[in-house]
Amino acid sequence: MQRCYVVDAANAPWKRSQSEGIAFACQVLLSGEDGGPEALRFRFDDCPSVYAHMHLTAQFQLLLSGCMDFPRGVKHLEALAIHYTDHNVPYGPFAVSGGHDMLVLHPKAGGIISMVNLDARRKINLQGRLFAALASDTDWQPLPAAEHSAFKRLMPSGFGPDAVVVKAPAHAALGMPPAQFGRYEVVLAGSAIFDGRELAPPGFRYSSGKDAAEPVVTGAQGATVAFLTFDRDAAEGGLTGEGLAVEAAE
């Protein structure tokens, strides 16, 4: 069965909050409470150390603005950038600065667990993947059979999960193959039409299933769209209501 969610992130309400003394603004764009995807948008105040943690599901972070610095084995990220982890893969601590703004995108509700939790450390996915990339490190390539369109592949072909950014002129139809384990399609510039709704950045559609979703159609000024596709790790983990998942959901 095809599942599809279209979200106008540009007009969603913001809420100020803090965690472990770290202040931020947040939009809850998809809650995951219906068993579907979970999507949030965060704007952290400048902070030298956001605590190390993990989520119980696969995750794409899409850095829209500002910087993130990961001192342990990742890199300095500046927008536009992606950061991907499999379920139960810890990351951080990391610093945020420069007007930080990012989307946190899950295929289902994943909660959050600080790595000071000793039980969490015993549940780390030791075979899990972590990948980060800056869009500026990749050159634009012509999009085959699409005049005046170009793309950037931000994750290696064959890695598993996939991240591609496409830039296309007005009224272009951008079709993608089915996303069995889920895909987020995020507007980065211009506007795009999803299932009859025109969205500005960073509006998005999430779809999953064995059938392909309707093509994304660019607006009158064209659009740049990120296609972030999960693989089978998206079926693992999640908030099961037992053990570590109970604390992660709090």
Stretch (H or E) spanning 247 = helix 244-248
Superfamily of domain 12-135+243-248 in CATH is Jelly Rolls (2.60.120.10)
pLDDT bucket at 131, cuts 50 / 70 / 90: very high
> Do 189 and 212 form a contact (C-beta atoms < 8 A)?
no
Burial of 232: CB neighbours in 10 Å, binned 0-12, 13-18, 19+ = exposed
Statement: residue 166 has pLDDT above 90: yes
Statement: residue 240 has pLDDT above 70: no
pLDDT bucket at 55, cuts 50 / 70 / 90: very high
Longest dimension (CA), the chain: 54
What's the mean pLDDT in 192-209? 97
Asked if 12-135+243-248 and 139-232 have one fold, the answer is: yes
Report the 10 Å Cβ neighbour count for 113.
24
Statement: residue 186 has pLDDT above 60: yes
* pLDDT number for residue 244: 54
The lowest-confidence range among 120-124, 130-134, 166-170, 172-176 is 120-124
Statement: residue 102 has pLDDT above 90: yes
What ranges do the domains of the chain cover?
Answer: 12-135+243-248, 139-232
CATH class (in words) of the domain with range 139-232: mainly beta
Query: What average pLDDT does the structure give for the chain?
Result: 91
What's the mean pLDDT in 61-68? 97
* pLDDT number for residue 229: 98
* pLDDT number for residue 245: 46
